Amino acid sequence: MNLHEYQAKKLLADYGVPIPKGKVTSSPEEAEIIKKEISGKAIIKAQIHSGGRGKSGGVKLISSSEDAYDSAKTILGSNLITYQTGPKGLPVNNVLVEEATNIDKEIYLSVFIDNDLGVPIVITSTQGGVEIEEIAKNSPEKIFKTICSPLVGLSPYKLRDISMSLSIPPSEISHMEKIMGSIYKLFIEKDCTLIEINPLVITSDNKIVAVDAKINIDDDALFRHPDLQELNDPTQQEVLEKRASDFDLSYVKLEGGKIGCMVNGAGLAMATMDITKWAGENPANFLDIGGSASEKKIKEAFKIIDDDPDVEIILVNLFAGIARADVVANGIVKAGKETQSTTPIVVTMRGTNSEQGLSILKNSELDITSVEDLASAAKILKNKLSNTE
């Protein structure tokens, strides 16, 4: 789960990490009031689940409360398109208005889990303010990597090493150690998969402030963080993906494809997507219906695929182990009946109760072509595609 910048900053502040003075709001009027409480210049920042906001007009420097009102009015309610959002962009429902920070020095900091080593890693650099990929490319020697132990944590000597590497004023080193320690503690205690603070600023009067913040939380650990669950913002999800997540379906909308895929198991779902490519098209989605999906869940899954305007053919690939093919077939038939679907469906069904499942599908009103395996499915798909052209 991604957090908004303002939510990430609130968490950091809870752990004692200094953040700029400011507030989040959904109204231009309130933005104006917030600015009045800030002396000097302020920054207004669009709150969306994406980076690259600055380059796409989502971050503005403001010097008056009228400015705050005007900027908030322009940004709020708009769809911000960045290099990460795709062509549709993401809706801006909130803006963060906060005091501008006098920057003396910008530091890059991130904490994440290295999947190959299986340990948390802290990355720091004196080249803050630019993206880490750029630092890695242009000045890799300026990247300081600290490997942490899942059992021991981030040892005090490592905190010292990190702080020393940042060439900050000696008076700030112990303060920096404390802040780094707090960030690591937050990473562990809140089951984060990423904390990125870029930049962590040393101000002209030698204070340390987190000026931007990105935090991702492990979805699998949300069960032990009811407080964090509430921070989920469904408006930042694609519409069909939102519907899928309401039914606990693992679904990803893919741009530019025409073949809707309905599969059990993530690996098989990816392989099925790849088959569409081999047949000369692209997949419209990834969908794993999971092991023991109910008829209700299957119904919704089918409707989500069929409601996707890009989808021209649906490919169902079921290898039922835990899942039961008859339950899946019933779900598809009922959904198709309710929506009076006319979309052609190519089906391969194997495993538990697959004969029953196939006969349920064949006896329905739906446009079903059933094939015995993935290779035949690809061939049928190829034929159907060449017929429609």
Is residue 238 part of the annotated active site? The answer reads no
Q: Which is nearer to another protein, 118 or 309 (CB)?
A: 118
Is the backbone peptide bond immediately before 20 cis, with ω within 30 degrees of 0? no
- Residue pair 8/214 in contact (Cβ under 8 Å)? The answer is yes
Shortest reach from residue 277's CB to another protein, in Å: 5
Nearest CB to another protein, comparing residues 48 and 263: 263
Instruction: Kindly state the smallest distance separating residue 208's Cβ from another protein, in Å.
Output: 26
Task: State the first-to-last Cα distance of the chain, in angstroms, to the nearest integer.
Answer: 41
Catalytic residue of the set 69, 108, 184, 251: 108
Structure tokens, 388 = 């429609």
Name the residue nearer to another protein (CB basis): 120 or 336.
120
What's the min distance (Å) between Cβ of 185 and another protein? 13
Q: Do the Cβ atoms of 288 and 245 come closer than 8 Å?
A: no
* Cβ nearer to another protein, comparing 150 with 234: 150
**Residue 107 main-chain phi, psi, to 5 deg:** -115, 145
Which positions lie near another protein, rule CB under 8 A?
A: 84, 113, 115-116, 118-120, 149-151, 188, 191, 193, 218, 220-221, 223-224, 250, 252, 254-255, 257, 263-271, 273-278, 282-283, 286, 288, 292, 319, 321-322, 350-352, 373-375, 377-378
Say how far apart CA 313 and CA 342 lie, in whole Å: 10
The nearer residue to another protein, 41 or 350, going by C-beta atoms, is 350
Q: How far is CA 317 from each of CA 139, 307, 345, rounded to the nearest angstrom?
A: 48, 19, 11
Q: Which two tokens stand for residue 81?
A: 């398109």
- Is 196 annotated as catalytic? yes
> Closer to another protein at the Cβ: 189 or 365?
189
Choosing from 98, 99, 177, 196, the catalytic residue is 196
Rounded to the nearest whole angstrom, what is the least distance from the CB of residue 326 to another protein in the complex? 16
Nearer to another protein, 218 or 307 (CB): 218
User: What are the E-state strand segments in the chain?
Assistant: 22-25, 42-46, 59-62, 79-80, 90-91, 95-99, 103-114, 119-125, 143-147, 192-203, 208-210, 214-217, 250-253, 259-263, 285-288, 313-320, 345-351, 368-370
What is the closest distance, in whole angstroms, from the C-beta atom of residue 334 to another protein in the complex? 23
Q: Residue 307 and residue 299: Cα distance in Å, rounded?
A: 12
Q: What is the DSSP string of 169-224?
A: -GGGHHHHHHHHHHHHHHHHHTTEEEEEEEEEEEETTS-EEE-S-EEEE-GGGGGG
Shortest Cβ 333–another protein spacing (Å): 22
Any residues with CB less than 8 A from the CB of 384 and at least 6 apart, and which?
313, 344, 346, 369
Map tokens 């132990």 to a residue: 149
CB of 116: closest distance to another protein in angstroms?
6
Pairing of strands 259-263, 313-320: parallel
Geometric angle at alpha carbon 293, from 288 and 296, rounded to 5°? 110
Which residues carry out catalysis?
Answer: 108, 196
